[in-house]
């Protein structure tokens, strides 16, 4: 009988296959109808966008970018260009302010005679605004979401963003109300026509010479004759009464916030407008508006403007006791 105990076990046998020839785990095979990997990667890349910039100007008209309720009141003025083929061209800065800068924009349809000049008021972001004492003006304003109201009250980062957006929206809304109310006003419009609201930019009627692009002078720049002074006073009081009849006061009225176009005062810079009913500080702000403007007319020689009497008239127009 053979003795197998002397034979070596398998662990003692030499390894016939070199390491390089050892079998590797088999990879999953790809079906023939699967797309190549290179083709799949190429399909994930979006195609390059076509260049849609206009041949002239800086941008296409943004008229169609404003949402419902963010375009001026109807009927649109004849001078307003609403064609989508129009092009906007930046012509320079008209004015710099505490919370916004105003730029001059030419909106025109190329190769036609359709065109108009617009004033583009662009509000700065909260980090770059110079006007910060806004708590008194924001009282009485409400937003739809309670979260936004709380954020505004606590001045969080989100709340400051909401406040910044409210400046433009508030001014655009007031301009629209004034324009619609002016149809019943014998003296004509008392504020620029609001063309459209786009984020924190308001495009509005340019108040000045459309041929030269020269803005109308501010009230503070004028040296009127006694007759002109009396006429300006009557027209400005009528404008303030119109503002009061819709329950508002300017909130920051001064000779620098009134333009004079063909002897007609035009109210501008209305983001800090104050609701005479909802804002508890409204009586003080109304009285201040009247006092500042009366002081200017008194210094120019207008006999006896009565701040207390005018304030009482405006309160009555607003339905206040």
Domain boundary among 167, 191, 215: 215
d(Cα 271, Cα 109) in Å, to the nearest integer?
Answer: 31
Q: With cut-offs at 50, 70 and 90, classify the pLDDT of residue 3.
A: low
Same domain for 248 and 157 = no
Shared-domain flag, residues 77 and 200: yes
Answer whether 241's CB lies under 8 Å from 165's CB. no
The pLDDT score that the predictor gives to residue 54 is 79
Residue 10 confidence (pLDDT): 53
End-of-domain residue from the set 152, 187, 215: 215
Which residues fall within 8 angstroms of residue 155, CB to CB, at 6 or more apart? none
Average pLDDT over residues 177-206: 91
Mean pLDDT of the chain: 82
Burial class (CB in 10 A: 0-12, 13-18, 19+), 247: middle
Express each pLDDT in 288-311 by its tens digit.
Answer: 999 999 999 999 999 989 999 999
In this prediction, residue 162 carries a pLDDT of: 64
- For residue 320, what is the domain's CATH number? 1.10.510.10
Give a yes or no: residue 101 inside a domain.
yes
Find the domain containing 204 and state its range. 55-215
Average of pLDDT values for 22-40? Answer: 56
Residue 251: which of 142, 151, 163, 167 has the closest Cα?
167
Q: In angstroms, rounded to a whole number, what is the distance separating the alpha carbons of residues 101 and 120?
A: 8
Q: What is the pLDDT of residues 265-286, one digit of tens each?
A: 999 999 889 999 999 999 999 9
Binned at pLDDT 50, 70 and 90, residue 184 comes out as: confident
Are residues 273 and 263 both part of a single domain? yes
Q: How many whole angstroms separate alpha carbon 141 and alpha carbon 135? A: 11
Range in 103-107, 116-120, 136-140, 317-321 with the lowest mean pLDDT: 136-140
Contact 278, 251 (CB under 8 A): no
Instruction: Quote the DSSP letter at residue 80.
Output: -
Is residue 2 situated within a structural domain? no
pLDDT at 194: 97
Return d(Cα 292, Cα 297) in angstroms, integer.
9
pTM of the model: 0.75
Residue 18 placed within a domain: no
The burial class, CB within 10 Å (0-12 / 13-18 / 19+), for 303 is exposed
- Going by pLDDT thresholds of 50, 70 and 90, the confidence category of residue 129 is very low
**One domain, residues 191 and 278:** no
265 belongs to a structural domain:
yes
Based on the domain organization, do 160 and 298 belong to the same domain? no
Per-residue DSSP letters for 195-247? EEEETTEEEEE--EETTTTEEPPBGGG----HHHHHHHHHHHHHHHHHHHHTT
128 with 138, same domain: the answer is yes
The total domain count for the chain is 2
Residue 5 counted as domain residue: no
- Taking only the tens place, the pLDDT of each residue in 61-97 is 999 999 888 999 999 999 999 999 999 999 999 998 8
Question: Tell me, what CATH number does 169's domain have?
Answer: 3.30.200.20
CA distance 91 to 214: 11
Q: Which of 142, 140, 145, 196 is nearest to 168 (CA)?
A: 196
| Most distant CA atoms of the chain, gap in Å | 145
Ramachandran region, residue 155 (left: φ > 0; alpha: ψ -120 to 50; beta: rest) = left
* pLDDT in the model for residue 55: 75
72 C-beta neighbours (distance < 10 Å), count: 24
Any idea what DSSP says for residue 22?
A: S
Both 227 and 258 in a single domain? yes
Residue 167: per-residue pLDDT: 84
Provide the pLDDT for residue 17: 53
Same domain, 297 and 221: yes
Are residues 171 and 279 both part of a single domain? no
State the pLDDT at residue 296: 97
Alpha carbons 283 and 311: distance in angstroms, whole number? 9
The answer to whether the CB of 15 falls within 8 A of the CB of 21 is: no
Contacts of 314 (CB under 8 A, 6+ apart): 240, 241, 244, 249, 286, 290
- Rounded to whole angstroms, how far apart are CA atoms 281 and 91? 40
- The predicted pLDDT at position 128 comes to 45
DSSP-assigned states of every residue in 97-162: -SSEEEEEEEEE-TTSS-EEEEEEEEEPPTTT-S----HHHHTT---S-HHHHHHHHHT-HHHHHH
Residue 130 lies in a domain: yes
**Over 90: is that where the pLDDT of 113 sits?**
yes
Give whole-number Cα distances, 224 to 121, 261, 301, 303, 305, in Å.
Answer: 29, 13, 10, 14, 16
Residues 226 and 241 in one domain: yes
The answer to whether residues 145 and 204 belong to one domain is yes
Q: 228, 189, 236: which is closest to 79 by C-alpha?
A: 189
């Amino acid at each position: 009988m053979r003795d197998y105990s002397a034979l070596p076990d398998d662990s003692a046998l030499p390894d016939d296959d070199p390491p390089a020839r050892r079998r590797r785990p088999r990879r999953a095979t790809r079906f023939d109808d699967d797309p190549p990997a290179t083709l799949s990667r190429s399909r994930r890349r979006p195609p390059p966008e076509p260049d849609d910039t206009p041949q002239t100007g800086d941008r296409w008209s943004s008229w169609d970018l404003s949402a419902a309720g963010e375009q001026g009141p109807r009927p649109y003025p004849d001078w307003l260009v609403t064609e989508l083929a129009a092009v906007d061209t930046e012509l320079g800065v008209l004015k710099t302010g505490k919370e916004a800068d105003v730029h001059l924009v030419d909106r025109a349809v190329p190769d036609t005679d359709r065109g108009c000049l617009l004033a583009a008021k662009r509000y700065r972001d909260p980090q770059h605004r110079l006007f910060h004492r806004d708590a008194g003006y924001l009282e009485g304003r409400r937003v739809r979401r309670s979260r936004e109201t709380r954020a505004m009250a606590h001045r969080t980062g989100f709340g400051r963003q909401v406040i910044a957006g409210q400046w433009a929206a508030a001014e655009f809304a007031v301009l629209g109300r004034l324009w619609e109310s002016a149809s019943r006003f014998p003296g004509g419009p008392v504020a620029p026509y609001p063309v459209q609201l786009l984020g924190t930019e308001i495009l509005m009627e340019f108040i000045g010479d459309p041929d030269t692009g020269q803005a109308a002078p501010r009230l503070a720049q004028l040296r009127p004759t006694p007759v002109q002074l009396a006429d300006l006073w009557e027209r400005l009081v009528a404008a303030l009464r119109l503002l009061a009849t819709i329950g508002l006061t300017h909130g920051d009225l001064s000779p620098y916030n009134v333009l004079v176009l063909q002897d007609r005062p035009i109210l501008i810079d209305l983001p800090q407008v104050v609701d005479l009913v909802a804002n508890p500080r409204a009586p003080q702000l109304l009285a201040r508006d009247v006092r500042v403007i009366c002081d200017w007319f008194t210094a120019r020689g207008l006999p006896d403007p009565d701040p207390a009497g005018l304030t009482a008239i405006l309160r009555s127009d607003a339905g206040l006791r």
